[in-house]
Amino acid sequence: MSMPPTQQPKDMYENVTPQPARQTLRAPQQAARQRPASIPPVSRTPSSAMKSLMGNRSVALTGVILAIIVIAVVVVVFFNPFEKTATNEPVANTNTEPSILPSTISPPSNTGSVSDADSDGLPDAEEQSLGTNAQNADSDSDQLFDREEVKVYLTNPTNPDTDGDGVIDGQEVAQGQNPSGAGLLRDLPSEIQKLQ
């Protein structure tokens, strides 16, 4: 729709009264300093709540320090890590039966000038007279060294089962059995002393 050229368009704001231009209001500086009466002034000193909190911290810190001191005193008094007392009293033997077997049997070391090629404790000359192998510490492979068989258990170093019961000599000794006959091995240390 077009308008006739003689008429001007109608102003839609013609009935509105203009408002005065807004001015930026500045509050006086004195007004900023004033506070309403309902808000208390801020003070620079800690409040009573802060003082009580600080007091609680110092009490807690004092308690922790005292606890550490008490623990240190208890440790020193009861455990006394700085004093080592030496007692020259022999330890009492609590075993009711003597030990039957050592946990491991190792061949004696070759300390003399006598030749012992296999380090089983028997000199090579004695091994030759017994018929054992001077190059093998256990000539009959029964888990006992040749010297143990000859000097300790009095068994045959060339026969793995001296008493013929079907159990090799080393297993019998490990079980506390007598490898040269019936019965148990008892008081082995005293028997060894008798043989030496």
What separation, in Å, do the N-terminal and C-terminal C-alpha atoms of the chain show? 143
Please report, in tens digits, the pLDDT of each residue of the chain (196 residues total): 555 566 777 877 778 777 766 666 565 555 555 655 566 655 555 555 555 556 678 888 999 999 999 999 998 888 776 666 666 676 666 666 655 665 666 666 655 568 888 888 889 888 888 888 888 888 888 888 888 888 888 888 889 998 888 889 888 888 888 888 887 876 667 777 777 7
How is the chain classified by DSSP, letter by letter? ----TTSPPPPTTTTSPPPPPP------HHHHH---TTSPPP-SSPPHHHHHHHHHHHHHHHHHHHHHHHHHHHHHHHT-TT------PPPPP--SS---S-S---PPP--SSS--TT-SSS-HHHHHHHT--TT-SSTT-SSS-HHIIIIIS---TT-S-TT-SSS-HHHHHHTTB-TTSSSB---HHHHHHHH-
pLDDT at 53: 55
Tell me what pLDDT residue 80 has: 74
What's the pLDDT at 67? 97
* Residue 89 neighbours by CB distance under 10 Å: 5
What pLDDT, on the 0 to 100 scale, is given for residue 114? Answer: 80
**CA-CA distances (angstroms) from residue 143 to 102, 167, 170, 189?**
14, 11, 5, 20
Instruction: Supply the pLDDT for residue 11.
Output: 77
User: Distance (Å, rounded) from C-alpha 128 to C-alpha 134?
Assistant: 7
Determine the pLDDT at residue 105.
64
Whole-number CA gyration radius for the chain? 53
pLDDT at residue number 71: 94
Instruction: Give the pLDDT score at 1.
Output: 54
Span 48-104, pLDDT tens digits? 555 555 667 888 899 999 999 999 999 888 877 666 666 667 666 666 665 566 566
